[in-house]
Chain A
Amino acid sequence: MNYEWISEFWHFRELLYFLAWRDVKVRYKQAALGAAWAIIQPLFTMIIFTLFFGRLAGVPSDGIPYPLFSFCALVPWTYFSSTLSQAGNSLVSNAPLVTKVYFPRALLPAASVLGGLVDFLIGSVFLIMMMIYYRVKPGWSLLLAPFFVLLMVLLAFSISMLLAAMNVRYRDVKYALPFIIQIWLFITPIIYPVTFLPAKLKHFLALNPMAGIIEGFRACLLSTHMDWGLVRVSIAVTLTLFIAGAIYFRATERTFADIV
């Protein structure tokens, strides 16, 4: 990674905004329910999780009402998973742009990562409404929430760079992605709290950076216990993935227009 790469990215920030804006606009224009989808998706997942895991399986939820407990995790998770599938395909689905115009290629996954935030915000508003309904008051830790959002965005961008660049050469990514996301959902503390797991497994779980991000997000909003050890590992893994993603992307971006 070098300075030039970053400064060029900055120079094209306006295009980044327009590409993200296009993604959002088109998404809502084509769907009859528009922005409502940003809520419907996590909402229905939450209802199903509450029925099967909360009621039937009796999964604990750190003393928080299970619907709120799972929805609080589903808002960032929905962002993360839909961003990965969008951004992972971003270079391929924008092939006409890639082969006809020059701009820093990383703008395309970055635009998907940014565009997804609109849905995330809508989901967050609904989350706040749920908190009011359940009378859950956030503490001072709420001020830390933006940090976790930032970490989540950085992680999504890092993995998106890897996936998008790989997808140009190996279209396998397109097929593998839904499967990977499905598995990832279960190894992330969404349905269950981290405390639900035996200590041994917890160490492995920490390697999944989404674990720390979701636990941290939950702790900020619902005042559950903040597991700083877990969060630290998540930060380290996220930064490592960011560097790996940027290096791989940079090494391959010159060939995108030739092979996409």
Chain B
Amino acid sequence: MESKTNHVMSEAIIVDKLSKKYVLGTLQRDTMLRERLISLLRAPFRKRSDAANTLWALRDVSFRVSKGEVVGIIGRNGAGKSTLLKILSKITYPSSGQVRVQGRVASLLEVGTGFHEELTGRENIYLNGSILGMKGWEVEAKLESIVKFAGVERFVDTPIKRYSSGMRLRLGFAVAAHLDPDLLIVDEVLAVGDAGFQRKCLDTMEGLRSGGRTVLFVSHNMAAVENLCSRCIWIEAGQLKMDGSPRDVIEAYMATFAAAQETMADLRSVQNRRGTGEIRYTGIEYLARSGELLTTVRSGDSFVMRFHYHAEKPVPFPSFGLRIYTELGTLVSDTSTWHHALDIPLVPAGDGYVDLDIDLLNLLPGRYYLSLWITGASSPVHDNIEHCAQLQVELANVYSSGRALDSRSGIVFFPQRWSLAGVGGQLVPSEGQETRSDAQLPGKRA
């Protein structure tokens, strides 16, 4: 970690009692004069209740951001994060309250805003650059670097309608990465693109941070928020729920999800699920093989995942399944009783459970999400709950080397051995190689 850049304490952003309300009627896309006239004619006879049609996207939000701070904004979809960014970017205006922003602002609410299909890569760089607030000479000076950053050297003079979606993303981000703002406002750009692209985004943000820029950034990628931000704001239902150090805020936020940070979860109250409901998951537990509830799950552990269910009536041939996702939403594995050809002719009505015995959890440390599903014989979905539980995998001495792997080492590890037989000369055994194999784990690598 670099030294904190708190030496300049002047405010970059002041948000004071900010509220934004939408009247739902006006959100309709094709507003017609006719409707206006009709409602005008009806007005004397009908009193419209305003409260029912009003949606508070933000309510009484206040906070200040100092120059040089990197602030992550987290919250569920529809919590008001994007509305907040739009107000800070002057795209939309608050219903009440005040916002003051200092310095040159660049806001990146979308990658490649204003790209035109018919124009070439080069032309789009000029257009997009000037849309994002660059001067013409600035774009000119940075053109080569932008093209290189995006990796589209061979296609600069090709219309971008021929570009792949990945190329388009890279080009859009390349332009944005060359902005030189005092304050950068970024919406969930990390949600798109492949791992390489996301890596690039994160590196760029890291560069901005070390350059002492103020950054405000919305993300669902908790790891990124934790790594990049010096502070985190959690917005819930239009209100500021928590403001503090990323670790604390993220922990509190994740705790509101099913079974966050716990080794058991109650799934009975989960509303966000689909399926017939004839048979449903009611809970999940992580157990040691001896049967007691685990407190932590570590890389390389052997343990049992127990899935409790409740069947409303007898269900023929159900398959119980589990998908494991990384924090970035990459599917790591999908496994089920069906894959193992375990056909269950009939599950009687009532409660029960199935166990998944894991011999060796070869996931590297990090946060993973579980999605659970049950399908029936003619494959109707009985139950499907996305990201309903979390699997927090802790550091472990997986290679018995005393050198721990963390989430930066990747997603998985596998049983392995290195052989140095082909290395010439005399090998000097490094100290600790054999002695520390069972020793304490070193902390996070610097």
Q: How many angstroms between the C-alpha atoms of A100 and B82 in the bound complex? A: 10
A172 and B109 contacting across the interface, CB-CB below 8 Å: no
A97-B113, A101-B113, A259-B26 known; A171+B32 contact, CB < 8 A:
yes
| Residue B207 is within 8 A (CB to CB) of chain A in the complex | no
Per-residue contact bits, chain A 82-103, to B (CB 8 Å; 1 contact, 0 not): 0000000000000011111111
| Residue A26 is within 8 A (CB to CB) of chain B in the complex | yes
B127 and A102 contacting across the interface, CB-CB below 8 Å: no
Per-residue contact bits, chain B 81-107, to A (CB 8 Å; 1 contact, 0 not): 000001001111100000000000001
| Residue A4 is within 8 A (CB to CB) of chain B in the complex | no
B91 and A102 contacting across the interface, CB-CB below 8 Å: yes
Q: What B residues does A25 contact at CB under 8 A? A: 118-119, 123
Q: What B residues does A169 contact at CB under 8 A? A: 31
A18 and B92 contacting across the interface, CB-CB below 8 Å: no
B127 and A100 contacting across the interface, CB-CB below 8 Å: no
Q: Which residue of the partner chain A has the closest CB to B28?
A: A259
A96 and B32 contacting across the interface, CB-CB below 8 Å: no
Q: How many angstroms between the C-alpha atoms of A170 and B32 in the bound complex? A: 5
Chain B, interface residues (CB within 8 Å), range: 20 to 34
Q: How many angstroms between the C-alpha atoms of A128 and B30 in the bound complex? A: 45
Q: Which residue of the partner chain B has the closest CB to A169?
A: B31
Q: How many angstroms between the C-alpha atoms of A29 and B157 in the bound complex? A: 14
B130 and A15 contacting across the interface, CB-CB below 8 Å: yes
Q: What B residues does A98 contact at CB under 8 A? A: 91
| Residue A185 is within 8 A (CB to CB) of chain B in the complex | no
Per-residue contact bits, chain B 413-426, to A (CB 8 Å; 1 contact, 0 not): 00000000000000
A101 and B91 contacting across the interface, CB-CB below 8 Å: yes
| Residue A30 is within 8 A (CB to CB) of chain B in the complex | yes
| Residue A200 is within 8 A (CB to CB) of chain B in the complex | no
A29 and B32 contacting across the interface, CB-CB below 8 Å: no
| Residue A135 is within 8 A (CB to CB) of chain B in the complex | no
Q: What A residues does B110 contact at CB under 8 A? A: 96, 100
Instruction: Tell me how many residues of A have a C-beta within 8 Å of chain B.
Output: 26
B86 and A26 contacting across the interface, CB-CB below 8 Å: no
Q: What B residues does A26 contact at CB under 8 A? A: 116, 118-119
| Residue A257 is within 8 A (CB to CB) of chain B in the complex | yes
Q: Which residue of the partner chain B has the closest CB to A171?
A: B30
A172 and B91 contacting across the interface, CB-CB below 8 Å: no
Counting chain B CB atoms within 10 Å of each CB, the highest count among A19, A96, A102, A255 belongs to A102
A18 and B127 contacting across the interface, CB-CB below 8 Å: yes
B31 and A22 contacting across the interface, CB-CB below 8 Å: no
Q: Which listed residue, A14, A99, A254, touches B136 by the CB 8 Å rule?
A: A14
| Residue B257 is within 8 A (CB to CB) of chain A in the complex | no
| Residue B339 is within 8 A (CB to CB) of chain A in the complex | no
Q: How many angstroms between the C-alpha atoms of A219 and B26 in the bound complex? A: 49
Q: What B residues does A101 contact at CB under 8 A? A: 89, 91, 107, 109, 113-114, 131-132
| Residue B27 is within 8 A (CB to CB) of chain A in the complex | yes
B127 and A22 contacting across the interface, CB-CB below 8 Å: yes
Counting chain A CB atoms within 10 Å of each CB, the highest count among B30, B86, B130 belongs to B130
| Residue B446 is within 8 A (CB to CB) of chain A in the complex | no
A100 and B33 contacting across the interface, CB-CB below 8 Å: no
Q: What B residues does A170 contact at CB under 8 A? A: 31-33, 36
Q: How many angstroms between the C-alpha atoms of A100 and B89 in the bound complex? A: 9
Per-residue contact bits, chain A 20-38, to B (CB 8 Å; 1 contact, 0 not): 0010011001100000000
Q: How many angstroms between the C-alpha atoms of A172 and B37 in the bound complex? A: 13
A100 and B130 contacting across the interface, CB-CB below 8 Å: no
| Residue B135 is within 8 A (CB to CB) of chain A in the complex | yes
B31 and A96 contacting across the interface, CB-CB below 8 Å: no
Give chain B nearest CB distance to A164 CB in angstroms: 15
A99 and B91 contacting across the interface, CB-CB below 8 Å: yes
Give chain B nearest CB distance to A107 CB in angstroms: 10
Q: What B residues does A103 contact at CB under 8 A? A: 131
User: Which A residues from 232 to 260 make CB contacts under 8 A with B?
Assistant: 254-255, 257-259
B91 and A257 contacting across the interface, CB-CB below 8 Å: yes
Q: How many angstroms between the C-alpha atoms of A30 and B32 in the bound complex? A: 31
User: Which B residues from 5 to 20 make CB contacts under 8 A with A?
Assistant: none
Give chain B nearest CB distance to A106 CB in angstroms: 14
A258 and B113 contacting across the interface, CB-CB below 8 Å: no
Per-residue contact bits, chain B 27-68, to A (CB 8 Å; 1 contact, 0 not): 100111110100000000000000000000000000000000
Q: Which listed residue, B92, B118, B135, touches A14 by the CB 8 Å rule?
A: B135
Give chain B nearest CB distance to A169 CB in angstroms: 5
| Residue B320 is within 8 A (CB to CB) of chain A in the complex | no
| Residue B22 is within 8 A (CB to CB) of chain A in the complex | yes
A14-B136, A100-B113, A259-B27 known; A254+B89 contact, CB < 8 A:
no
| Residue B281 is within 8 A (CB to CB) of chain A in the complex | no
Q: How many angstroms between the C-alpha atoms of A18 and B127 in the bound complex? A: 6
A171 and B31 contacting across the interface, CB-CB below 8 Å: yes
| Residue B126 is within 8 A (CB to CB) of chain A in the complex | yes
Q: Which listed residue, B22, B33, B127, touches A258 by the CB 8 Å rule?
A: B22
Q: What A residues does B109 contact at CB under 8 A? A: 100-101
Q: What B residues does A171 contact at CB under 8 A? A: 30-32
Q: How many angstroms between the C-alpha atoms of A169 and B30 in the bound complex? A: 8
Q: Which residue of the partner chain A has the closest CB to B114?
A: A97
Q: What A residues does B113 contact at CB under 8 A? A: 96-97, 100-101
A25-B123, A97-B113 known; A259+B31 contact, CB < 8 A:
yes
B126 and A18 contacting across the interface, CB-CB below 8 Å: yes
B131 and A29 contacting across the interface, CB-CB below 8 Å: no
Q: What B residues does A30 contact at CB under 8 A? A: 118
Counting chain B CB atoms within 10 Å of each CB, the highest count among A101, A102, A171 belongs to A101
Q: How many angstroms between the C-alpha atoms of A100 and B132 in the bound complex? A: 10
Give chain B nearest CB distance to A222 CB in angstroms: 39
A254 and B127 contacting across the interface, CB-CB below 8 Å: no
Q: How many angstroms between the C-alpha atoms of A170 and B118 in the bound complex? A: 29
* 11 examples of A-B residue contacts, CB within 8 angstroms: A14-B130, A26-B118, A97-B131, A100-B109, A100-B110, A101-B107, A102-B107, A103-B131, A170-B33, A258-B22, A259-B26
Q: Which residues of A contact B (CB under 8 A)?
A: 14-15, 18-19, 22, 25-26, 29-30, 96-103, 169-172, 254-255, 257-259
8 closest Cβ pairs, A-B complex: A102-B90, A18-B130, A257-B92, A170-B33, A172-B33, A100-B113, A254-B93, A15-B130
Q: A171-B31, A172-B32, A259-B31 are in contact. List 16 more A-B contacts (CB 8 A).
A: A14-B135, A18-B130, A18-B131, A22-B119, A22-B123, A25-B119, A26-B116, A30-B118, A97-B131, A101-B113, A102-B90, A102-B91, A103-B131, A172-B33, A257-B92, A258-B92
